[in-house]
Amino acid sequence: MATQTAPTSAPPFGTVAAPTMVVADVADGRYDDLRVVPTRELTLHPFAHVLHYGSACFEGLKAHRGTDGVVRLFRHDRHVARMQRTAELLLLPVPPATLLTEAIERVVAENLDVIPAPPGALYVRPMLFGTEPNIGAAAAPSREAQLVVVASPVGDYFAGGGRALSLLLETVLPRTTPQFGEAKAGANYVMALGVTHRAKAEHAVDQVLFAPGGLVQETGAANFLLLDDDRVVTPALDSSFLHGVTRDAVLTLARDLGYRVEERDVPVEELLAWDGEAALAGTAAVLAAVGSLVHGDGRTTFGDGEVGPNTTRLRDALVAVQRGEAPDAHGWLAPVG
């Protein structure tokens, strides 16, 4: 992957490294000072805990360049808290909130020059992994670790931008184990990879919607919502899926706009009978319309199969806040630089 300067058109999501990253080493659970260094290869001992026992987690958040030119991080406090929670679940040394916050703000400040204009953004990817060199430590936490915060100038996550997505409904297999759903750990993604890869190859869909036991959870990289002119319906938070920051923002804006928000079980029968729109919410996906769902009995279309008006309305409301075009009524933005 090559480092490059400010792109003129949006590159594929996640393929371009911003020039500068921030690193902190952790020994005996204690975090060293942050180091700001060029984005480059990492050095790992081949016995490193992460390479054998999967002690790795990450976060994903964005800094947006507003239409006024100001760069603002979106809800980074929430991403810091979620990474602390994930680290706790993986028994990795939990990064102090102040240090992780500073690392995120530093990486944005150092890479201001490569942040594309809207709809592009700087995607910030903090990572934490166990580095203790001990291949006998399968049942022991890694006391050594490294925190690395990289960044990437990005455009659209789903190739095709504004088109409605198609999903395959999976009603047997879970995305990951129930107690780890709320962790943003690499292991969760690799567990879902086979199912998602097969779905793409065999059904030409964009993603898999996991609904083990007949109750909707989420897709492999975003939360799922049903919408109509009055309501937004989405699964209530539990430990089986990731507690998306975008999900929370969309639900908050939906309430502000007068929608009734229902956080509850969403049975597959209701999903297949839904007379309205469906969408995916996530930092990368923003709010992406779902046009159709492939399932055992065939294909269900949401609305007219295109991007619906309620999805557009909520997406526009979210993007307007992120770009500094609408008032930041909930204190979600932090200017950088």
In whole angstroms, the minimum distance from the beta carbon of 47 to ligand PLP comes to 29
Q: Which is nearer to ligand PLP, 26 or 124 (CB)?
A: 124
The interface with ligand PLP within residues 151-210 (CB under 6 A) comprises none
Smaller CB distance to ligand PLP: residue 31 or 180?
180
Contacting residue, 282, 291, 308, 324, with ligand PLP by CB under 6 A: 282
Structure tokens at 5: 């300067």
DSSP string, 33-93: PPEEEES------TTBHHHHH--EEE--EEEEE-TTS-EEEESHHHHHHHHHHHHHHTTPP
Which residue number, 48 or 334, has a Cβ lying nearer to ligand PLP? 334
The Cα 75–Cα 61 span in angstroms is 8
In the complex, the smallest distance separating the C-beta of residue 22 from ligand PLP, rounded to whole angstroms, is 20
**Backbone angles phi and psi of 72, in degrees to 5:** -135, 130
Residue 222 contacts ligand PLP per CB under 6 A: yes
Residue whose structure tokens are 């309305």? 313
- Report the candidate in 236, 252, 304 with the shortest Cα–Cα distance to residue 275: 304
Tokens for 294? Answer: 């492939």
Comparing CB distances to ligand PLP, the nearer of 123 and 129 is 123
Query: 218-219 and 121-130 as β-strands: parallel, antiparallel, unpaired?
Result: unpaired
Binding mask 230-259 for ligand PLP (x = CB under 6 A): ------------x-xxxx------------
Q: Which of residues 52-71 bind ligand PLP (CB under 6 A)?
A: 60
Q: How far is the CB of 283 from ligand PLP (least distance, A)?
A: 3
User: Which residue's CB is nearer to ligand PLP, number 31 or number 332?
Assistant: 332
With CB under 6 A as the contact rule, the residue among 150, 218, 240, 307 that binds ligand PLP is 218
**Residue closer to ligand PLP, measured from CB, 114 or 318:** 318
In angstroms, rounded to a whole number, what is the distance separating the alpha carbons of residues 331 and 192? 34
CA distances from 137 to 57, 86, 94, 186 (A): 18, 20, 19, 19
Least Å from the CB of residue 284 to ligand PLP: 5
Comparing CA positions, the residue from 170, 161, 252 lying closest to residue 218 is 170
CB of 286 to ligand PLP, least distance (A): 9
**Nearest distance in Å: CB 171, ligand PLP:** 18
Give the residue ranges of DSSP H helices in the chain. Answer: 49-53, 76-89, 97-110, 186-203, 245-256, 268-273, 309-322
The single residue among 146, 196, 240, 283 that binds ligand PLP, judged by CB under 6 A, is 283
CB of 44 to ligand PLP, least distance (A): 24
d(CA 329, CA 337): 22
Give me the phi and psi of 312, to 5 degrees please: -65, -40
Task: Give how many residues touch ligand PLP by CB under 6 A.
Answer: 15
**CA–CA distances in Å: residue 234 to residues 80, 81, 207, 260, 267:** 24, 22, 18, 11, 10
Question: Least separation, in Å, of the C-beta of 135 and ligand PLP?
Answer: 29
Q: Which residues contact ligand PLP by CB under 6 A?
A: 60, 218, 220-223, 242, 244-247, 281-284
